[in-house]
Structure 1
């Protein structure tokens, strides 16, 4: 049970992208906002400036869809992992924190690939690959791996970075084609580390 009394009826809420783990924002909840968040599956805060409940995205449509909630050991802070439906910050940025780049862009790229699978478009390179089948996707991973090795041995650093990027992109597509994701690979690598 959350302890709202410690903060005069409010508790801080850290919002984190469930896939990239990037911290998106900090807000506050009272008991009513907490109950509404749990009931609706979208993050609702208590706005201290407006002195009312405020569902993130109520005007922009950029809701924060709840994946999981976690209460800290002192029961006075909430961590909410979300799937954001667009930028989180009112400035249009993905996060309210001004980080210079998205350190977890590979995971965001994976989300984009999954989206292209779920909502195919003729203009999408991912869709063109997907329609050509697993053999073509696997072939592209092999080609990009060879080009990465060549760039590492005989080309510039920029060439190596570009080829490595192509390799990782096509590997993400292949993982999706096989019904796997980067989280599965990360868990496997973590298990091997022990």
Structure 2
């Protein structure tokens, strides 16, 4: 992109009284909204030139490069503006969490679930966020941090133990015991996902894929899991 093209883009936008334009950042691969920040003309120029997001900090009154300190940069895929040209939508490929808390997205605190939406996924998403945040805050008093620091052998052993306890609870026929042991198993699975770089969205997408397939076909040497 030439300097003339960049200048044309910068000048066609409508900035507020402080010379800023609100910018929504969205993960290109998942469509998840990661954060909202502000750009001015210079940070937008740098974003267009470098191919990574730059913003303007209202509190520090200076430009800042996303990931400049943490390494969690955002590679720009596309930039769009709304009908009034006073808000930007930047789609990116994020290299790590967007939130300063260590969460993937700044929008992790659900105040009102969507109508008809089960609470379960929100609880699991919150659990995944808390586990992810523990990794980045290095809380040495946390059991989660201990598991992540110890590694996959310890996590795998705990999953084996919790799986066995779910089976025992089921054989005992105690509903509350089944619930409690199942919760323990899900927690340790979530820790394993974090350790191996798997997201809740990855698992939900696989379940969704299977739910749209018909039958329960078994082939020699291959099991095609469907629901």
TM-score under structure 1 normalisation? 0.55
Match of 1:189 among 187, 207, 214: 207
Are residues 1:5 and 2:12 paired? Answer: yes
Between the aligned partners of 1:23 and 1:178, the Cα distance in structure 2 is 21
Aligned partner of 2:160 in structure 1 is 139
Between the aligned partners of 1:145 and 1:70, the Cα distance in structure 2 is 47
Are residues 1:79 and 2:94 paired? Answer: no
- Structure-to-structure mapping, 1:41-190, within 5 angstroms: 41=52, 43-45=54-56, 47=58, 53-55=62-64, 65-66=73-74, 68-72=76-80, 74=82, 76=85, 77-79=88-90, 82=94, 83-84=97-98, 86-87=100-101, 95=106, 100=111, 103=122, 104-109=125-130, 111=132, 124-128=146-150, 130-132=152-154, 134=156, 136-143=157-164, 145-146=166-167, 149=170, 153-155=174-176, 160=179, 162-175=180-193, 180-190=198-208
The answer for unaligned runs of 5 or more in structure 2 is 1-5, 113-121, 213-227
Are the equivalent residues in 2 in contact too, given 1:11–1:30 (CA < 8 A)? yes
Report the aligned-residue RMSD: 5.2
Q: 1:150 to 1:171 in 2, by over 3 A?
A: farther
The answer for unaligned runs of 5 or more in structure 1 is 89-93
Between the aligned partners of 2:172 and 2:14, the Cα distance in structure 1 is 56
Aligned partner of 2:225 in structure 1 is none
Between the aligned partners of 2:129 and 2:147, the Cα distance in structure 1 is 17
Q: 1:166 to 1:46 in 2, by over 3 A?
A: same
Greater RCO, CA 8 A, separation 6+: 1
Question: What does the per-residue CA deviation read over 1:110-144, in whole Å, with 9 as the maximum and x for residues that have no partner?
Answer: 5358769xxxx99713444634474x244134135
Higher alpha-carbon Rg: 2
Q: 1:114 to 1:99 in 2, by over 3 A?
A: closer
Q: 1:174 to 1:23 in 2, by over 3 A?
A: closer
Q: 1:164 to 1:138 in 2, by over 3 A?
A: closer
Q: 1:44 to 1:153 in 2, by over 3 A?
A: same
Between the aligned partners of 2:62 and 2:38, the Cα distance in structure 1 is 10
TM-score under structure 2 normalisation? 0.49
Are the equivalent residues in 2 in contact too, given 1:29–1:44 (CA < 8 A)? yes
Aligned length: 177
Are the equivalent residues in 1 in contact too, given 2:47–2:53 (CA < 8 A)? yes
